[in-house]
Amino acid sequence: MAENETGKELVHLWSRPGIIVVDKPKGPSSHQVAAWVGKMLGCQVGHSGTLDPQVSGVLLIMLGNAVRLAPLLLQHDKEYICLMRLHKDVPKESILKMAEEFTGRLYQRPPRKSAVKRALRIREVQELEILDTDGRLVLFRVRCDAGTYIRSLCHHMGFALGVGGHMQELRRSRSGTFDEKTMYTLHDVQDAAVAARDGDPARLASMILSVDAAVPELSAVIIRNTAIDAVCHGAALAGVGIISCAEFAKGQTVAVLSQKNEFVCLGKTLLPSSAFKPGDTGLVIAPTTVFMAPGTYAKGWTKSDKVIVPKPKQKPKDTRVPSKKPDGGGKYRPGPRPSWNRGPGQKSGAPKKRYH
């Protein structure tokens, strides 16, 4: 068993996939916070949506194989509360008017200190609300696409006002469907881990959300119990294994659930929902990310009883050519001499020159 920095053995308190929403404090990096949670719970972890060390707020920590959800969680819209400092005094009316101009699709270039390539990109700001102003300080709430740099936004807003400005403080208040009401501090997680280690896992279990809670916007497909194990082994799902489903289009990502509403996998649809009915034959969904372990449900598929008789081996084809001589007698002679056995400048089948 692995040991931590103090030499004590790590206790594996959580072995199922799940998500815990942590209130990241100012100071440590997102990677450090995720590593601390992993040591507390003794499981593999990952985080979605990196926050700078001086930024606080909602940070999603994925437990176990829930880290496979990272590509979906990274696409979630974000909401921030930001404190911006202007470099000169500006009337409040001008600030309110400027906020309206900075909604919609905006061009952005990542800051020099960012970890990505500084290429020009387009991000959409759905809402920008000025909450309060105090002298040169401006407090606002912004709801935007994933990957929007609020530091660059403050810089551009200061330019638009003609006085310059920079970001003073920043806090993420929402990521997708997860907000501050569902998050816990690191102290809360540590207290729950200690209680679970002492035999009371109820508090820790109440903090950890199921995997399907991260993708409520996906169309749900309910499948039969006899089809689950085959899907867990990577088999494509046919219409006969589907009980019910929501509407979806071809090529769309859907959530595949069991009859007990357990999250089985994510899959890509091979045809639209209007092209089949539950119980029809034909492949409908190809699994892309499986979360349920194989063997959780009994195998509903069996091998065929048909005995396959191996075909007899065929004799190799005779490549020799019959002799063209009249007195050949129907005998065979070898084919053309290979090139490595010919003399210099000698054509295929030509007699070798002899020198006396």
Task: Please tell me the predicted confidence (pLDDT) of residue 212.
Answer: 80
- Asked if 134 contacts 140 with a C-beta cutoff of 8 angstroms, the reply is no
Task: Please tell me the predicted confidence (pLDDT) of residue 6.
Answer: 46
Q: Exposure string (b/e) for 65-82, b if CB count within 10 Å is 16 or more?
A: bbbbbeebbeebebbbbb
Per-residue pLDDT tens for 173-186?
A: 999 989 999 999 99
Residue 306, pLDDT above cutoff 50: yes
Considering only CA atoms, which of 284, 263, 214 is closest in space to residue 71? 214
Residue 208, pLDDT above cutoff 90: yes
Lowest model confidence (mean pLDDT) among 63-67, 172-176, 324-328:
324-328
The pTM (predicted TM-score) of the whole model is: 0.75
Task: Place 113 in a pLDDT band, splitting at 50, 70 and 90.
Answer: confident
Per-residue pLDDT tens for 236-278?
A: 999 999 999 999 999 999 999 999 988 899 999 999 999 999 9
CA distance 139 to 289: 41
CA distance 260 to 187: 33
Fold designation for 78-175: Alpha-Beta Plaits (3.30.70)
Residue 345, pLDDT above cutoff 60: no
Q: Where are the domains of the chain?
A: 18-74+179-207, 78-175, 218-290
* Domain range 18-74+179-207, its CATH number among 3.30.2350.10, 3.40.50.1370, 3.90.1300.10, 2.10.109.10: 3.30.2350.10
Residue 68, pLDDT above cutoff 70: yes
CA distance 176 to 172: 11
The burial of 294, by beta-carbon neighbours within 10 Å (0-12 exposed, 13-18 middle, 19 or more buried), is given as middle
Question: What share of the chain has pLDDT > 90, as a percent?
Answer: 59
Lowest model confidence (mean pLDDT) among 88-92, 185-189, 210-214, 231-235:
210-214
Which residues face 222 on adjacent strands? Answer: 244, 257
Task: Give me the active site residues, please.
Answer: 52
* Domain range 218-290, its CATH number among 3.90.1300.10, 2.30.130.10, 2.60.40.4070, 3.30.465.10: 2.30.130.10
Residue 4, pLDDT above cutoff 80: no
Considering only CA atoms, which of 60, 27, 29 is closest in space to residue 46? 60
